[in-house]
Amino acid sequence: AQKITQTQPGMFVQEKEAVTLDCTYDTSDPSYGLFWYKQPSSGEMIFLIYQGSYDQQNATEGRYSLNFQKARKSANLVISASQLGDSAMYFCAMREGIGEAAGNKLTFGGGTRVLVKP
Partner 1 sequence: DTAVSQTPKYLVTQMGNDKSIKCEQNLGHDTMYWYKQDSKKFLKIMFSYNNKELIINETVPNRFSPKSPDKAHLNLHINSLELGDSAVYFCASSPRTRGRAFFGQGTRLTVV
Residues engaged in binding partner 1 (CB under 8 A): 33, 35, 37, 39, 43-45, 47, 50, 89, 91, 93, 95, 98-100, 102-108, 110-111
Distance CA 56, CA 100 (A): 25
Cβ distance to partner 1 smaller for residue 12 or 47: 47
Cβ distance to partner 1 smaller for residue 57 or 100: 100
Instruction: Find how far residue 7's CA is from the centre of its chain.
Output: 12
CB 48 within 8 A of CB 25: no
CB 4 within 8 A of CB 109: yes
Q: How far is the CB of 16 from partner 1 (least distance, A)?
A: 27
Q: How far is the CB of 76 from partner 1 (least distance, A)?
A: 19
Maximum CA extent, the chain: 47
Cβ distance to partner 1 smaller for residue 7 or 14: 7
Distance CA 63, CA 54 (A): 23
Q: How far is the CB of 23 from partner 1 (least distance, A)?
A: 14
